[in-house]
A and B are shown apart, each in its own frame.
Chain A
């Protein structure tokens, strides 16, 4: 079966030494953010959602945001996404 993330990783040159198994984020047109590999929520509000990932915290800023899905290791954020920041 086709795996989008594996395909991207395999096509990346000089990927040795990089830690690519941490998390994956996809932003779809600024209205939907899909995250794989989160380690727990940190902040939840309509303007700011932040969550832990391996060795970092991701902050998502926007408006009217809701967590449309939250499972063991995936998050789906819906709303108007303005900024995605890794700290």
Chain B
């Protein structure tokens, strides 16, 4: 370290000459006190040139010398038992050399270097490319489990072999370590769809009567004209060959059914309606950190009421978050409403149709629509039915 500093020192002494040319001065200012300073300065100037010598008082003097001579000057002054009041440095050379004496910085750099060297020996990232059916997480978890993270202990050939042995779907794999990343380039085997298709059965997603079947693969569980409920299995995910052997295949089919989409609305001849009268009472509560600071309440003498609460931030800072809770009480009153069904029949039928239409999703054809009315004691029920034709197949989850 010392030799290194000396070399740097020599280089910077050469740079000092260039610095002088470029008018960059690296000087050290000494403030000394003591007697007979004239003699001292006369002796000192024989060792190195001095500048800006200023006598502040009889015993106080300041002078400057080159930064590169300051150690020599300091040594000389100490040998003469001169009291050095202060030493200040000017220029870039001192700042540059300060780096080498900043032990905190050196320690931080050393710790950083050690940590960098240590962590550089480990694989920190895994990159898997070329995947189609396999997932990156299963490959990475396998490699992490089977092989150490230290780069020197990872044999890439062994990684390749282990992956091919443990994942039959992989046809080719190449493994390399780039920096701290383990890169796996994987090529998967090309297999027919049936081999890795979904082996769950096709089920009905709605109630209906089957009107058309177009089977692609699998075994049918229903026939045209059958009534099915939502969740019933329509196609099983297997086939049975002539030898009686069961073979797993992806269940695929287009099964169209007549679906009865119903919407129902009830009409009551007599019912109680609750409405707001328009009168209201407001209560305000100002809080800080959840504690109530000020409350304003009007007298509340409503027999029936409903409330609405609104929170408002009074200040837009987190230092004093004043909040106001405004509670409004609305007075309510009850009315008994009597209506005849015949007067509102069209309105209720339209409501029932609207409900039925909400259930009609992804239909291919709307076959017909009709409604029925059932009268009970005080209640009339309107049922509206829309018959559609649609594909009702979905995979069982």
Given the interface contacts A69-B49, A69-B50, A71-B45, does A46 sit within 8 Å of B38 by beta carbon?
A: no
In contact, B45 and A44 (Cβ under 8 angstroms): no
Give the residue name and chain of the A residue nearest to B46 (CB): A72
Instruction: Assess the B38–A67 pair: CB atoms within 8 A.
Output: no
User: Which residues of chain B have C-beta atoms less than 8 A from A45's C-beta?
Assistant: 55
A70 touches B38 (CB 8 A): no
* Number of residue pairs A-B, CB distance < 8 angstroms: 46
What is the distance, in angstroms, from B55's C-beta to the closest C-beta of chain A?
5
Q: A43 to chain B: which residues have CB within 8 Å?
A: 38
Distance, CA A42 to CA B39, complexed state (A): 7
Q: Is A68 an interface residue (CB 8 A)?
A: yes
CB distance from A45 to the nearest CB of B (A): 5
Q: Closest CB of chain A to B80's CB: distance in Å? A: 15
- The residues in B between 248 and 304 inclusive whose CB is less than 8 angstroms from any CB of A are none
Contacting pair A72 B38 (CB below 8 A): no
Contact flags A54-73 to B (C-beta < 8 A → 1, else 0): 00000000000011111110
Q: Quick check: B54 and A70 within 8 Å, CB to CB?
A: no
CA distance A72 to B61 in the complex (A): 19
Is B39 touching A40 in the complex (CB atoms < 8 A)? Answer: yes
CB distance from A31 to the nearest CB of B (A): 16
Q: Which of B42, B51, B53, B55 contacts A40 (CB 8 A)?
A: B42
Specify the main secondary structure of chain A where it touches its partner: strand
Residues in chain A near residue B55, CB distance under 8 A: 44-46
CB distance from A16 to the nearest CB of B (A): 33
Pair A70/B53 contact, Cβ less than 8 Å: yes
* A5 vs B42: C-alpha distance when bound (angstroms): 24
Known: A44-B53, A44-B55, A46-B55. A70 touches B41 (CB 8 A): yes
Within 8 A of A (CB), among B151-185: none
Q: Provided the pairs A44-B37, A44-B55, A44-B61 are in contact, do residues A71 and B42 lie with their beta carbons within 8 angstroms? A: no
Shortest C-beta distance, A25 to chain B (Å), equals 17
Residue in A42, A66, A68, A69 whose CB lies within 8 Å of B38: A42
Proximity string of chain A (31-57) to chain B, C-beta cutoff 8 Å, 1 when within and 0 when not: 000000000111111100000000000
Q: What class of interface size applies to chain A in its complex with B?
A: 10 to 19
Mark interface residues in B32-70 (1 if CB within 8 Å of A CB, else 0). Answer: 000001110110011001111111000001010000000
Whether A72 touches B45, Cβ cut-off 8 Å, given contacts A41-B38, A44-B61, is: yes
A39, chain B: closest CB distance, angstroms: 8
> Is B54 touching A71 in the complex (CB atoms < 8 A)?
no
Alpha-carbon gap, A66 to B37, bound state (A): 14
Chain A contacts for B53, CB-based, 8 A: 44, 66-68, 70
A selection of 27 A-B contacts at a CB cut-off of 8 Å is: A40-B42, A41-B39, A41-B41, A41-B42, A42-B38, A43-B38, A44-B38, A44-B41, A44-B53, A44-B55, A44-B61, A45-B55, A66-B53, A67-B50, A67-B52, A67-B54, A68-B52, A69-B49, A69-B50, A70-B45, A70-B50, A70-B53, A71-B45, A71-B49, A72-B45, A72-B46, A72-B49
Q: Show the binding face of B for A, using Cβ within 8 Å.
A: 37-39, 41-42, 45-46, 49-55, 61, 63
Q: Given A43-B38, A67-B50, list of 14 further CB < 8 A pairs?
A: A41-B38, A41-B41, A41-B42, A44-B37, A44-B41, A44-B61, A66-B54, A67-B41, A67-B52, A67-B53, A69-B50, A69-B51, A70-B41, A72-B49
